[in-house]
Amino acid sequence: MSDFRVRAYRSADREAVSELLLAQRDRLVAADPRLSPTGEFAEGDGALVVEDDGIIKGYVCPVPYELGPDDPLAAFRPAKGTRWEQLVTTEPRALSLLGETAGSETISLTWPSADRETADHLVEIGLKPSSEYALRPAGPLAAGQASDVTVRPARKEDFPAVLELYRSLMNFEHEISAHIRPTPAAERATCASFDLAVAAREDNFCVVAEREGSVIGFVQGKIADVSFGMFPPGRYAYLDLVAVRQGSRGAGIGRRLVAGTLDALARHEVLGQTLWFNPNNPLSSKFWPAMGFRPILTVFRSGTGR
């Protein structure tokens, strides 16, 4: 077997890496036609895996990031780490060599969920699925049987109940995945979105489920233009936060809530509905597929414990 080694990217490698990216794009779109990768190569300080004869077998551009304490995103991902961008690999050996270049850094990589083969190799090098970005085609959802529940837009006076549901959701996720943690910045952002939703501004929405005068569930989100990675760009209904009160779960309320929310949003022209969920959450990982959401991109991370 020939030897592989790692070396720094040089601009003379541009054409060869671009060709590999284009071939990879075709393979990924065949695995999931919903994907929209450009296949365009953006030069950076990347690392290459090359064979004895100089043939390129893999490439990655590691981009360090650091989130300040005021960044709401720090509630959902490690505050410091390295994002792997422009990954291209032709075989597992190249991927494991690229993995070795990372040392003890916390890596994250967003990759098409349908590419099961690469997913298996990522797990072998210590990256684990930590977030799923899921997509549902535009259209209504059957509301199910929980007919004693009223689903309606949130009002100002619902704020304490919504905040309590939000806090229990964050604590629940934190117990499952330590890198998800309630932070003051994330709570402030959630409260600000609630205020915008109640004022019907900037396409924010918050919908609650009410039974016998008590709010027992909520959905908060936004109609938004989405454009990142290989996700098909456009306007989507983005469901940011969803929770049903503990003790009321498993009785069809979540389905009714999401169905009612989608009905309330039907006047917006969107390409579909989208959301993030934690694949390690035993409730949401069952609930969202049952609601017709299919993962399209998976975030793999190292060093997050699960």
Give yes or no for a contact between 262 and 300, defined as CB atoms under 8 angstroms apart. no
Residue nearest to ligand COA (CB): 254
Binding string to ligand COA for residues 252 to 271, with x set by CB under 6 A, is what? xxxx----------------
Mapping DSSP to helix (H, G, I), strand (E, B) and coil, where does residue 280 land? coil
Q: Should residue 283 be labelled a site residue for ligand COA when binding is judged by CB under 6 A?
A: yes
Select the span of 17-25, 94-102, 115-123, 249-257 touching ligand COA (CB under 6 A): 249-257
CB-based contacts of 242: which residues, under 8 Å, 6+ apart?
169, 217, 218, 219, 220, 254, 257, 258, 275, 284
Q: Should residue 169 be labelled a site residue for ligand COA when binding is judged by CB under 6 A?
A: yes
Give yes or no for a contact between 9 and 45, defined as CB atoms under 8 angstroms apart. yes
Strands 80-89 and 107-112: parallel
Q: Should residue 109 be labelled a site residue for ligand COA when binding is judged by CB under 6 A?
A: no
Select the span of 49-57, 93-101, 221-229, 248-256 touching ligand COA (CB under 6 A): 248-256
Minimum distance, C-beta of residue 245 to ligand COA, in the bound complex (Å):
7
Residue 166: half-sphere exposure toward Cβ, Cα within 13 Å: 25
Q: Should residue 244 be labelled a site residue for ligand COA when binding is judged by CB under 6 A?
A: yes
Nearer to ligand COA, 79 or 251 (CB): 251
Q: Should residue 249 be labelled a site residue for ligand COA when binding is judged by CB under 6 A?
A: yes
Total of chain residues touching ligand COA, rule CB under 6 A? 20
Nearer to ligand COA, 242 or 270 (CB): 242
Give yes or no for a contact between 304 and 130, defined as CB atoms under 8 angstroms apart. yes
Residue 11: half-sphere exposure toward Cβ, Cα within 13 Å: 0
How far is it, in rounded angstroms, from Cα 61 to Cα 23?
18
Options 98, 127, 242, 297; binder of ligand COA; rule CB under 6 A: 242
Which residues are at the interface with ligand COA (CB under 6 A)? 144, 169, 172, 242-244, 249-255, 277, 281, 283-284, 286-287, 290
